[in-house]
Chain A
Amino acid sequence: MSSVASTARGTSYNTFLLVPILLFFGLLTIAVVRSPNLMTSSGIGSAEIVVAPLILSTYALMATALAGRATVDLSIGPLIGFINVTLIQIHTAGVISSPIAVFAYALFAGVAYQIVFGLIVLWVRVQPIIVSLSGYLALSGINLVILPRPGGSAPEWMANWGSGTTIFSPSIIMVAIATVGWLIFSTTAFYGHLRLMGSDERAAYTSGVRIGVVRIGAHVVCGLFAGLAALAFTGLISSGDPTQGTTYTLIAVTALVLGGTSLAGGRATVFGSLLGALNLFLIGYVLSTFDFGSVQGFVTDLCYGLILVLSLLLTVALPYLQRWLRHVSPLLVFVVLGLLFIGVALHATFDYATLAPHAGAASAPAPDRASGNQDNAAPPRLPPLDPGAFAPVLEQVQEGPGFARSLLSTRASQLAVLLLAIVITLRLMVWQAGKRRMTPLLYAAIGVGGLLGVWLLMDTGVFVAKLGR
């Protein structure tokens, strides 16, 4: 079938996003069922400060991966570490402390390094992966020279970044700004040139794109994101650490690939990278809710590797599934699964109060991975849900006195979610009916069926008893 014809019949060319979306909601559901306090203000808060540096470094990699020539910047991790330790040392020396100076320094350092990187690729003309390998070794060595062991302290105004008690932490604001920034960036002509150069450099050159300028531009964008990632990382650990930043290289590259970015260049979406980074975080989070004793770390390695390989294989299988998935819009999948998830999350968070015997087992405090349990040592059993997240759904629920909800109000909230899900799905069906077949109906059926199934299982306690050891 020619591509023109398939486009005319409404083929979604972002089909590769389906894998990260499915994985994301699968993992998120398990995470919420296993550890309901993820969906609390402090749960989300502490999760997002851990995941923010990963998201931002994945964005940084995305900018250069888009430029082609297999530019996977292996040195992103050491670069984050480098900005972190130099920032801490400069701050300790008393040179800079104001927020503007710190931000300016971090962004400048990232951009300067990346410009040097880009110029070497342009002028010396060695393969970018060699330059990044060289940078990886050089920077991880010099980091240990600058700060031999973890220590130092971040500026005072950064001290509470790592506490993660609210949803609107500075880290997540940086992620939001970066995401919106990328979306704006992707509407520019420069972005078009970048994609053209990434998918076929010769074609770009012959059609008059100034590939040197475009390549340097991609590195500048990468440097900006790297600077932001370093700031989020500094906020997370509130000190300097010469070696921990280096670990971001492998996980950021993995997140990038999980998000459907082509390492050969020319194809990347900010949505995919975001989901890829979140997926990686969730894999670790879900595994940390199980207790494997002394082999915990090995089980994490195993699952991490398996999920990586499996999701990549799913990407391979996509063209074969294309016959059925051709009319599937990733956006619609996202919305339907999102609604399904909100239902599950509400159940996991609120129904456990009514299932008192199981509640203790299921809401065992999840070990916090990286943020060091400063404030999560004793999470409240049912902490107040941040009203911003589920405001439209929870209006009826919030009326109850305090948080001791009756069975009736819980049922009401469940019903409201279900009704909302059906209404939105129907609306989407009508919207899409003009150009697509009736596949949305299939989604709605699966979604509603799944929701009911989970609801029934949880009400009878079967689900909880099974998963809760």
Chain B
Amino acid sequence: MADSPLFAPLTAPVVRPLRWIGLALAALIAAIGAGFGFAQGAPTQYVIFTTAATFTLTLWLWNGFFVRWIAETSLLSRAAAERAGRQISARAALRGFISGNKGVLAGLAILIVGFIILSLTLTGFLTWANLVTALFLAASLVFTTVTSRAFGDNRSAFIGLMVLGTMFIVASLHVQGFFSGANIKSMLVFAAFLGIATVGQTLVALLGGLDLSIPFLIGSSNVGLLYLIGLGIPSPIAVILALVVGTAIGFLNGLLSFPLQGQALIVTLGVGFATSGLTQILTSIGSSFAGNVFGEVPKWLSNFAAMNGVTFGIAIPPVIFVWIAVAIALIFGLKNTVYGRYLYALGGNRTSAQRIRISERRYWYGVFTISGFSSALTGSLLLGSSGGGFIGVGDPYLFTTLAAVVIGGTSLLGGHGGYGFTVIGVLVLQVLTAFLVGIGLKFEWQQFIYGLLILPMVALYARSPHIRTQI
């Protein structure tokens, strides 16, 4: 590494102490992790394995990004100063440092002030674990913002992954049994539902639209599927029927909202209301339980999505594999197929895309149709997971699909982002929810913190440029 042409000038005196600091930091973090591991009584081989992994990872990130960034910037600024033939005064350097790192400094200040306020107001808040957590958060904040400057287009993915890792480590420190196979499996199952539901939202957002019919379609397909099965239709055919109807409604969404693109939000909301109303009228004719459908969920469907499902002998429900397959197909497809590239072209600039003869109408219909399909699929899978039809099962997905897309870093204005980002967003949301549930917060506090956290997370990378740079 040291003799590659890029790094040749970096063997300057600036770099060597940084390397040693990195080594010490990695050892320190690994030691803290090992200490906690032994204190919590984890099996020895686990502790050794995670300690080694933490050490290597920290060292890699430090050397690969942080050192490189520091060295490059310091060399560049020194070169600039030498070219200008003057010395940079300490004051000007400080001012430059502050204005260049406004975000980090503000974040640190908020973190410190919040920690002090919480320790003063809540008795029993000031514990070692919390102090370590706060220090860890501060370190992670500085590290993430500083290193992320070395990334270009995939910056939001890097930040998302860092946030995910940080939250995962913090949650593992605080919640007993968070870092266990069973918990990770259950988080993945819930993430798979959300992930499949956000397929459509991501594609629609790439074109600059929003689909608010997703929760209603999920609820409708959930209730409708159980109703169809209750009528005596063989369950595979019933599932296919539900998916076909969902796809058709998705197409209808596209058809109706195409001429009204600025208001796709409201059109899809209206279609969603109508669909869920119609489904409930149809399913509750002749029954005295309005809105609830009772029936037996077929075995294969519950095996597909329930926590104790089995895939070809592996004790992991198939829904997780389905999600992984969908994610790989979408990430690959968006990047490497003509369809995917044209989608980005349309989202980026409609007029130019039309000039090279890309049919705006066809793609608009297409993404909404896929959105309808993925919503119906989520509703059917949720039926297998919960074992009973309930129209309100989709309600939480109204805002979480939107939040997952946005946290991942896909622009709601279209043209930038992708399903890979959304996967990160889904996982971040899921880990955050599991953490908040794990530390025993009540639902209303969870929601409050959830709301407060979305803003800084989005602010980390989805900031729009100032108006004066857009002219």
A residues lining the B interface (CB < 8 Å): 72, 120, 124-127, 129-131, 133-145, 148, 201-202, 205-206, 211, 250, 253-254, 257, 262-264, 294-295, 297-309, 312-313, 315-316
Contact = CB atoms under 8 A, between A and B. Distances in A.
A429 B397 CA distance: 54
Given A140-B447, A141-B446, 10 more contacts: A124-B455, A124-B463, A126-B458, A133-B406, A211-B467, A254-B270, A297-B290, A298-B280, A299-B281, A301-B277
Best-surrounded residue of A143, A300, A306 (most CB of chain B within 10 A): A306
Contacts of A264: 262
Contact of A127 (B288, B412, B450, B465): B412
A309 to B, nearest CB: 4
B384 interface: no
B464 A141 contact: no
Contact of A263 (B262, B280, B413, B446): B262
Contact of A133 (B271, B399, B467): B399
B452 interface: yes
Contacts of B259: 313, 316
B281 A257 contact: no
B288 A294 contact: yes
A205 B467 CA distance: 8
B234 to A, nearest CB: 28
A345 to B, nearest CB: 29
Contacts of B271: 305, 309
Contacts of A142: 444, 448
Interface of B: 256, 259-260, 262-263, 265-267, 269-278, 280-281, 284-285, 288, 290-291, 399, 402-403, 406, 412-413, 443-452, 454-455, 458-459, 462-468, 470-471
A201 B464 CA distance: 14
- Of A206, A257, A304, most B-chain CB atoms within 10 Å: A257
A294 B402 CA distance: 33
A145 B452 contact: no
Contacts of B256: 309, 312-313
A300 B284 CA distance: 15
Contact of A312 (B260, B272, B443): B260
Contact of A141 (B450, B465, B467, B468): B450
Contact of B451 (A134, A144, A205, A250): A134
A298 B452 CA distance: 34
Contact of A308 (B269, B290, B451): B269
B277 A305 contact: yes
A125 B447 CA distance: 23
Please list the 8 inter-chain residue pairs (A to B) with the smallest Cβ-Cβ separation, ordered nearest first: A137-B451, A138-B451, A305-B274, A305-B273, A302-B277, A301-B277, A141-B448, A141-B447
A302 B281 contact: yes
A312 B266 contact: yes
Contact of A206 (B276, B466, B471): B471
A188 B272 CA distance: 40
A126 B156 CA distance: 14
20 contacts: A127-B458, A136-B451, A137-B447, A138-B448, A140-B447, A141-B443, A141-B446, A141-B451, A142-B444, A143-B444, A263-B265, A298-B281, A301-B280, A302-B281, A304-B270, A305-B275, A306-B274, A309-B267, A312-B263, A316-B260
B459 A304 contact: no
Contact of A301 (B260, B263, B274, B402): B274
A231 to B, nearest CB: 24
B291 A131 contact: no
A182 B433 CA distance: 42
Contacts of A312: 256, 260, 263, 266-267, 270
Most buried by B among A130, A131, A148, A205: A130
A138 B447 contact: yes
Nearest to A205: B467
A412 to B, nearest CB: 45
A204 B363 CA distance: 33
Given A126-B459, A202-B470, A316-B260, A144 B444 contact: yes
Nearest to A261: B263
A72 B212 CA distance: 14
Nearest to A143: B444
Contact of B270 (A120, A129, A308): A308
Nearest to A296: B290
A61 to B, nearest CB: 12
B263 A137 contact: no
Contacts of A138: 447-448, 450-452
B471 A202 contact: yes
Interface centre among A201, A206, A307, A308, by most chain B C-beta atoms within 10 angstroms, is A308
B284 A298 contact: yes
Nearest to B398: A250
Contact of B269 (A129, A131, A254, A315): A254
A309 B254 CA distance: 12
Nearest to B102: A123
B248 to A, nearest CB: 15
B448 A137 contact: yes
B273 A126 contact: no
Given A133-B403, A309-B274, A125 B464 contact: yes
Contact of A130 (B270, B445, B447, B454): B454
Contact of A250 (B269, B278, B288, B465): B269
Contacts of A309: 256, 267, 270-271, 274
A295 B270 contact: no
A263 to B, nearest CB: 6
A125 B455 CA distance: 11
B263 A205 contact: no
Contacts of B277: 298-305
A127 B464 contact: yes
Given A124-B459, A262-B262, A201 B467 contact: yes
Contacts of A254: 266, 269-270
A124 B465 CA distance: 10
Contacts of A263: 262-263, 265-266
Contact of A134 (B454, B463, B465): B454
A176 B281 CA distance: 39
Contacts of B281: 295, 298-299, 302
A144 B448 CA distance: 10
Given A302-B278, A305-B272, A312-B270, A257 B463 contact: no
B78 to A, nearest CB: 32
Nearest to A313: B256
